[in-house]
Amino acid sequence: MKLKVCGMKYPDNMLEVASLQPDYLGFIFWEPSTRFFNSTLANIPKNIKKVGVFVDAPVKEIIEKIRKYSLQAVQLHGKESPEFCSELRQTCKATLDDAEKKLEIIKVFSIKDNFDFSVLEAYEEVCDYFLFDTKGKLPGGNGYAFSWKILKEYPSKKPYFLSGGIGIEETGKIIDFLQRPESKYCYAIDVNSKFEAEPGLKEVEKLKEFKKRLVSIE
């Protein structure tokens, strides 16, 4: 099971979190967010993928951030259409160098009490992963979970990230979830606000314990 730590903001804190060897670190490029990243990127090990999180940003802006921060993945957290995702992929192939062309596209879908999984079909060919988060006032980082039982209806074989209000207290729920059929395509656990001392500042010891428990599940 992969681990993504999202909402990174401070260089020193990035290095501390990176020492735990998560698989992904997320950086939010949506200015209204309290975790908005517009700073210096720490020297993160190359085996940790850097994810840029965008909310309805123009393709040009996304490409600029990919180049500036050497991003390996883009997380689309707004109302981006399948056509937009396709345009982004094609633009990456046409304008970026060979390493950058391997960019992963993660499309986010927010869930509250129910969800129409038929909307995923149009994104199958233009995204590498889906990410399921809790629908709330903000595009992400709302701090509470949706009912994972909804994923019993997941119709796809595309791997997905599980997000939304996941903290160390949810370890038992994760263990239970991973024993159920609907978790078959769960690729990664995405954490953020429940591991913070303040927005963007992660509590390293909590993350260390969570990763330890996550590894023990495997």
Q: Could you tell me the domains of the chain?
A: 2-217 (3.20.20.70)
| Angle ∠(204,112,61) on CA atoms, nearest 5 | 65
Share of the chain above pLDDT 90, in %: 82
Query: Distance (Å, rounded) from C-alpha 53 to C-alpha 139?
Result: 10
The arithmetic mean of pLDDT across residues 156-180, rounded, is 93
H-state helical runs in the chain: 11-18, 59-69, 82-95, 171-177, 204-217
pLDDT of residue 216: 76
pTM: 0.94
What the block records as the tokens of 98 is 């060979």
| pLDDT score of 88 more than 60 | yes
pLDDT of residue 14: 97
Pairing of strands 129-134, 24-28: unpaired
